[in-house]
Amino acid sequence: MAQNIYDDPAFFAAYAGLPRSVVGLDGAAEWPMLRSLLPDLVGRRMVDLGCGFGWYCRWAAEAGAASVLGIDLSTNMLERARGTTDDERITYEQQDLDALDLPAATFDVAFSSLTLHYLVHLDAVLTAVHRALVPGGAFVCSVEHPIFTAPTSPAFASAADGHPIWPLDAYSLEGPRTTDWLAPGVVKHHRTIGTYVSLLVAAGYTIASLIEWSPSDEQLVDHPEWTVERDRPPFLLLAARRH
C-alpha cells in the first residue's frame, strides 16, 4: 500500500498551511489548465481519487455533477472533507488507492490531483479506473512531473553565471524517491512520461491530452516568483478516454 503520510501529524499540519489548502483551488497554479481538460460535468457521475480536503469534489458538485465520490486513504483528510459540505451529492470513502475497488461502469469521469505519484501499483489503479468508467468516459489527472521527481537532489542550483538550473539525474531510473517535503521521509514513486503513457495505453485508454504545466504570461504578472517553473515543469497533466 501507499505511504499514509497525510495521517502523520507534522506533515498534516504543514500541508494544511499550504496556499492550496487554505484558499483552495485558487491556490493551485495548475488548476485552470487542469480544469480545461475536464468535460462538462452537468449530470455526470465523478470519482475523485485522492480527494484530500474535498476542494475538487465541491467544485464538481457546484459545476452540476449528479454525484461525486471522493476517495482518500487519510483519516485526517476525510474528516476535514466531510466537515466542509452537507451536499448530498457528495460522498466520501476511505480506501487505499493501491488496492482500489470500484463497481464496474458507474462513472462518467475519473479525476485525480497530485496523488498517483504516491502509489506503488499504478497499473492496477489505472485498470480499476478503466473498468469503473463507462465506455467513452474521461480520466483526467495531474502528477508531479517526472523531471521534478527524478533527481537525487531535487532543488534548484546555480550555473556558473548564476542562472538557475535544475540538476537532473536518474531520470530513467524509476522507483521510490524519499524526500523531505513538509516532513522527513515522504516517499514518492518516480515514473517517466513514457511509463505513464504506456500504462494508460496498455490499460485501454486513448490519450487525449498531455500537458507539461508551466505558468502562463498572465500568471507571471501576479506571481513573478513562478518564472523559474519554466525551467523545469513541476506538473504533468493527462487526459484520456476509455474506449
Query: Which residues here bind a copy of itself, judged by CB under 8 A?
Result: 147, 151-153, 157, 159, 163-173, 192-194, 197-198, 201, 206-212, 214, 229-233
Cα separation of 187 and 172, whole Å?
18
Give the residue carrying C-alpha cell 495505453: 201
Tell me, what amino acid is at 18? L
Q: Which is nearer to a copy of itself, 95 or 152 (CB)?
A: 152
Residue closer to a copy of itself by CB (options 120, 168) is 168
- In the numeric block, which cell numbers belong to residue 44? 455526470
Minimal distance, residue 198 CB to a copy of itself, in Å: 7
Q: Angle formed by the axes of helices 122-132 and 193-202, to 10°?
A: 40
What minimum distance in Å lies between the beta carbon of 190 and a copy of itself?
Answer: 12
Write b or e for each residue in 25-62: b if 16 or more Cβ atoms lie within 10 A of its Cβ, otherwise e.
eeebbbbebbeebbbebeebbbbbbbbbbbbbbbbbbe
Q: Considering the complex, state which of residue 10 and residue 207 has its C-beta at the smaller distance from a copy of itself.
A: 207
Identify which of residues 98 and 174 has a Cβ nearer to a copy of itself in the complex. 174
| Shortest reach from residue 205's CB to a copy of itself, in Å | 10
CB of residue 159 vs a copy of itself: minimum separation in angstroms?
A: 6
Residues in the chain: 243
| Neighbour-count burial for 153-164, b at 16+ CB within 10 Å, e otherwise | ebeeeeeeeeee
Cβ proximity to a copy of itself, 78 vs 114, nearer residue: 114
- Pick the closer one to a copy of itself by CB: 61 or 126: 126
Q: Residue type at 96? A: D
Q: Which is nearer to a copy of itself, 57 or 200 (CB)?
A: 200
- CA atoms within 13 Å, Cβ hemisphere of 34: 22
For residue 93, CA distances in Å to 8, 225, 238 come to 19, 37, 24
State the nearest-atom distance from the C-beta of 216 to a copy of itself, in Å: 10
Write down the least CB distance from residue 38 to a copy of itself, Å.
Answer: 17
The single-letter code of the amino acid at 192 is: T
- Min dist. Cβ of residue 67 to a copy of itself (A): 30
